[in-house]
Amino acid sequence: MHLKVSQSRALDILGWNPNEKFLNAIGSNWRADDDGTIDGTSVCWLLCWAKAEGRNNEAAAHEARRAFEAIIDTPLDRLDTPDIHEWAQRTGRYGVRAAVDAELARLLG
């Protein structure tokens, strides 16, 4: 997956999230290459936040969904399945980049 905006703009948009835990985690969980390729673990991290609405994080989830759509070239709807979300929670956001990138590509067909 790739950025739709510059890395600087992506970080700015991510910084609009009202959740302190989210904001503190950006530095260790958000990575994109100079060419705009997003680390699959970063995609999984943002997806998990976007799906956090059931854990008293409605505002953070809403802002994560908005950020996802604004900065990532793949629509959130393509990843918003129970199987992908469960995999992202269990493995994707903590995995090795190459393996996560490959699995995301496979899951998205």
C-alpha distances out from residue 96 to 32, 38, 67, 84, 101, Å:
15, 13, 24, 17, 9
Report yes or no: 71 and 3 within 8 Å, Cβ to Cβ.
Answer: yes
Report yes or no: 64 and 17 within 8 Å, Cβ to Cβ.
Answer: yes
> What are the tokens at 24?
């503190």
| Most trustworthy range by pLDDT among 66-75, 77-86, 92-101 | 66-75
Task: Provide the pLDDT for residue 32.
Answer: 96
Q: What is the pLDDT of residues 10-51, one digit of tens each?
A: 999 999 999 999 999 999 999 999 999 999 999 999 999 998
Task: Provide the pLDDT for residue 54.
Answer: 56
For the chain, percent of residues with pLDDT exceeding 70: 97
pTM for this model (two decimals): 0.93
